[in-house]
Structure 1
Amino acid sequence: MTTLLESDEHKSLRAAVSAFARSHPRATGPAESRHFWQEAGKLGYIGVSLPEAYGGGGGGVTELSLVLEEMGAAGNPLLMMIVSPAICGTVIARFGTDEQKRTWLPGIADGTRLMAFGITEPDAGSNSHRITTTARRDAATGDWLLTGRKVFISGVDIADATLIVGRTEDARTGRLKPCLFIVPRDTPGFERRQLDMELHATEKQFELTLDDVRLPADALVGDEDAGLLQLFAGLNPERIMTAAFGIGIGRYALSRALDYARERTVWKTPIGAHQAIAHPLAQAHIDLELSRLMTQKAAHLYDAGDDMGAGEAANMAKYAAGEACVKAVDQAVHTLGGNGLTREFGLATLITAARVARIAPVSREMILNYVSHQTLGLPKSY
């Protein structure tokens, strides 16, 4: 499935990833998911967006989102691709020191190292300005000390480190400024607790506690005074990649429903001949295609360096893809009837997975707020 926006190279990449992903059985457990991740890393798919100088493919979010979409369409979406190469890899590539790049990017690119991302907090929710995880300098040593809590952080148990969003206090104004810190998994004072989720996913969710976690001065990524610029360098790719994640899941669900609708015969013809079955599936396909076009636009804008335009498009793409994904999965399950809830067809677990594309990393309501304020110029309600 390609579009007019794609170059021949992109079409070839899409075909190669699709063939690779379809040659592997669906990953239903951590071991299978890890094996798939490692194989994808060896082929260069995980690091396709990272700089060639550090083992990456030299592409951008355009290529990385294409890879994730095709993996999802084959039934093997990798949630950590949104986190490790797209958020953490992008931030380090753009703002990290030479040493941070040498230490982390080659491993992230070939899949041998993973990095998680910690921003969400129990009491902040969608309001990132309320983040209370604070970082202060130890005047005697120059080290950083981090204290705070994070929640709904994916893959911390399999990640070598977590990129933590903390806040430092501006000595002149007293205002808190967001900063990014690399926290290795086994750092003293850095504790994790697995959350009891009903979501069926190979990546686990965690609550993190940082109790005066001591980090060397070079754990800080980028400029202490850069603030939101560095943060959104990772958040816009996160939205684009979440859109690709949702589109891939939606395409997979739709393909299972189409196979079933072509073959399942109850009366004289396959059920797919009936408009009550065919039209909702056609609508699901249209919604997925439209959301994909918006996702491609967002990725192209981001890769072109248009951060402002990419922010708007990334939010729109994530909104559209989340809605399209949920509708496609729901219609696929409905098409199969009772069979849609059996383990054999593998659609029931996608019901909760599809909701992730609506909820995370930003809710559809907050996206509507963004568009109404930033795009339409309407006044804020908060």
Structure 2
Amino acid sequence: MTDNPFVETTERSELRAAVAGLAAKYGQDYFRECAREGRKTDELWREAGQLGFIGVNLPEQYGGGGAGMYELAIVMEEIAAAGTGLLMLVVSPAICGNIIARFGTEEQKQKWLPGLAEGTLTMAFGITEPDAGSNSHQITTTARRDGSDWILNGQKVFISGVDQADAVLIVGRTEDAKTGKLKPALFILPTDAPGFTYTLIEMELQNPEKQFQLFLDDVRLPADALVGSEDAALSQLFAGLNPERIMAAASAVGMGRFALDKAVAYISDRTVWKAPIATHQAISHPLAQGKIELEMAKLMMQKAATLYDAGDDWGAAEPANMAKYAAAEACVKIVDQAVHSLGGNGLTSEYGLAPMLSLARIARIAPVSREMILNFVAQTSLGLPKSY
């Protein structure tokens, strides 16, 4: 162990090296081949689970590693840095796993957490709706009581990995019979439940993990499908959204590192007028700037993870959102500059940078747009009037 908070512990350094070794074994070629052939990255996911990487943040008594979001962010960053970013890492162990571990019943923990930790079970997360977008207060998916059961109706959109998930953690709203007020609630919905269907959303992305629209038509769930309290789900929901932002930042940092490494290797080797083009400041300075911005985003991500792991949900919210914003902006700029640094080669299949132009853009849009993060910072950090 070290007393210097800016130097990773031996355990974290060893985890980082081990994950990097696994990711390098597969690499971007494997990831792109899976995307082209319509296959899932099952081999990588399975091996990551067997090595304990997927569930590193989940409690040991349920098969996890007993660590935290700092360690899971290391896993995400290193896998993304090898060109094999796994979107379901953001969803299954980070959002769903954390929520169930903190708010689930003992039966729910026993049923789901060991599989989520091993990677033998995966869970998608259903919050976004066609007419609600980022405004979770306007969710219209409803859950009503029918005896001891729940009946769910509604739609979700841009839900990742449903075709490879065993269940979806659905964000709905219960209707209080006395007041008529709608209250958000979380339900575990098995993907084979009657009345639940989903359709593929065609995307211009080279990614094995797909996006779907969900339809819930009188889906009947037992009473124990409800996670936590139906009256306290808003706080429970945000306990899952902080990890989501941390993992989105880790993914963007990893993608940025991948593109930066590609660019540095190329400009160091590419010679024009008897000198490597890296000697030209017009080429080197934008990449140096990208490196600085990426490292600053990473520090904020680590701050957010440290606060979250200490149990400070509110304290983690500001750095988690800031980290996601900063990492996304740095990643997009680095990918664009990397492509430009390679010239025509930046758009070839050989160098693998062109597909990242669209993948990196996701970081600015999802899971929350940069504009909504700016709204959050303006309102909560600066104390400015709410603008929406």
**Fold similarity call, TM over 0.5:** yes
Q: 1:253 aligns to what? A: 259
For 2:341 and 2:330, how far apart are their aligned partners in 1?
A: 16
For 2:270 and 2:184, how far apart are their aligned partners in 1?
A: 55
Q: 1:11 aligns to what? A: 13
Q: Please report how far the alpha carbon of residue 11 of structure 1 lies from its aligned counterpart in structure 2 after TM superposition.
A: 1.3
Q: How does 1:36-185 map to 2 (within 5 A)?
A: 36-139=44-147, 142-185=148-191
Secondary structure in structure 2 of the residue aligned to 1:297 = helix
Q: Percent identity?
A: 67
For 1:199 and 1:77, how far apart are their aligned partners in 2?
A: 13
TM-score (normalizing by structure 2):
0.96
Q: How does 1:1-382 map to 2 (within 5 A)?
A: 4-26=6-28, 27-28=31-32, 29=34, 31=39, 33-139=41-147, 142-382=148-388
Q: Please report how far the alpha carbon of residue 74 of structure 1 lies from its aligned counterpart in structure 2 after TM superposition.
A: 1.3
Deviations 1:156-175 (A, max 9, x none): 00000100000002334322
Paired amino acid for 2:90: I
For 1:308 and 1:295, how far apart are their aligned partners in 2?
A: 15
CA RMSD of aligned residues (A): 1.2
Secondary structure in structure 1 of the residue aligned to 2:209 = coil
For 1:69 and 1:259, how far apart are their aligned partners in 2?
A: 20
For 1:32 and 1:182, how far apart are their aligned partners in 2?
A: 23
Say if 2:186 and 2:233, in contact at 8 Å, map to a contact too: no
Paired amino acid for 2:266: Y
Paired amino acid for 2:24: R
Secondary structure in structure 1 of the residue aligned to 2:131 = coil
For 1:306 and 1:361, how far apart are their aligned partners in 2?
A: 21
Question: Runs of at least 4 residues of structure 1 off by over 4 A?
Answer: none
Say if 2:154 and 2:215, in contact at 8 Å, map to a contact too: yes
For 1:94 and 1:244, how far apart are their aligned partners in 2?
A: 22
For 1:25 and 1:380, how far apart are their aligned partners in 2?
A: 44
Q: Please report how far the alpha carbon of residue 10 of structure 1 lies from its aligned counterpart in structure 2 after TM superposition.
A: 1.1
For 1:32 and 1:177, how far apart are their aligned partners in 2?
A: 36
Secondary structure in structure 1 of the residue aligned to 2:213 = strand
TM-score (normalizing by structure 1):
0.97
Structure 1 residue runs of 5 or longer lacking an equivalent are none
Q: Please report how far the alpha carbon of residue 148 of structure 1 lies from its aligned counterpart in structure 2 after TM superposition.
A: 0.2
Deviations 1:305-352 (A, max 9, x none): 111110111110100011011011111111111111111111111111
Bigger Cα displacement from structure 2, 309-318 vs 14-23: 14-23
For 1:182 and 1:227, how far apart are their aligned partners in 2?
A: 13
Say if 2:94 and 2:247, in contact at 8 Å, map to a contact too: yes
Secondary structure in structure 2 of the residue aligned to 1:25 = helix
Secondary structure in structure 1 of the residue aligned to 2:263 = helix
Paired amino acid for 1:352: S
Bigger Cα displacement from structure 2, 19-28 vs 340-349: 19-28
Q: Please report how far the alpha carbon of residue 227 of structure 1 lies from its aligned counterpart in structure 2 after TM superposition.
A: 2.5
Secondary structure in structure 2 of the residue aligned to 1:23 = helix
For 2:222 and 2:151, how far apart are their aligned partners in 1?
A: 9
For 1:265 and 1:177, how far apart are their aligned partners in 2?
A: 63
Deviations 1:9-67 (A, max 9, x none): 11111111112211223212154611101111000000000000011000110100011
For 1:259 and 1:295, how far apart are their aligned partners in 2?
A: 27
Q: Please report how far the alpha carbon of residue 224 of structure 1 lies from its aligned counterpart in structure 2 after TM superposition.
A: 1.2
Say if 2:124 and 2:160, in contact at 8 Å, map to a contact too: yes
For 2:90 and 2:216, how far apart are their aligned partners in 1?
A: 24
For 2:387 and 2:39, how far apart are their aligned partners in 1?
A: 46
For 1:104 and 1:279, how far apart are their aligned partners in 2?
A: 48
Secondary structure in structure 1 of the residue aligned to 2:27 = coil
Structure 2 residue runs of 5 or longer lacking an equivalent are none
Secondary structure in structure 1 of the residue aligned to 2:26 = coil
